[in-house]
Structure 1
């Protein structure tokens, strides 16, 4: 069965999910954020079958989140590196990690720490314009409908 594509849906959350919504993709991006670049590193970390990992890496390259770069000629080997688009996804992963750590506790403790201080990171989403923390009670969705353009023929009528 084919998956429904959400590329033309006006909601940016839906379009974003269409691009990276598969959980294996999120785990690959997580590992890339923490410095993994090689196929075997991703496979060891995630435990995904090679054919599935190949498909996911290809999809992330096609989506512009990763780029494929050669690192060895014989045999040919490629690494996968985050693009600017991929690096811009970091806040989403950090927010997901924070939410999962707060609400989906397991036997293991996992948190993200600052490399310099060693202290756990406590992420907060800040509005770029106001500098204020983003709070749900201050938000509302607003869909911007495309402006209908008229042709010269319409203007003449």
Structure 2
């Protein structure tokens, strides 16, 4: 990895921590300067704007959380064990967060609702991916007989209230 690539990765890692703790709107470029130990010009040399840095920091944060979840799920054998592993890995973000401030995906979802469309779209994509993964695990469990449900996974019946 070149020195420039190392610097870029350092910026992403530190920015992910700051954005996770403070949010996009609560983070200033001065906060990022303090966190990285670089001058603003050094940051802008690698990222054209705070927005670009926030989007890439979100992608990095998502990768961290997703890697934890996927590793846990892949280690389980039975569908019900995979479901439990998914939930446990996701919940571990509360007690053992990979970044300060808890789960960066949830934090971003709360903040970016209407205020930052590009971040909102990133969060939407992650939620869709995780929902799809959960639905697939439920369907696998139903097919193998280890998971039962009154409603099918991914059938949209969870919208509008009511229990499972």
Q: What TM-score results when the alignment is normalised by the length of structure 1?
A: 0.29
Structure of higher CA gyration radius: 1
Higher RCO (C-alpha 8 Å, min separation 6): 2
Q: What TM-score results when the alignment is normalised by the length of structure 2?
A: 0.28
Choose between structure 1 and 2: higher helix proportion: 2
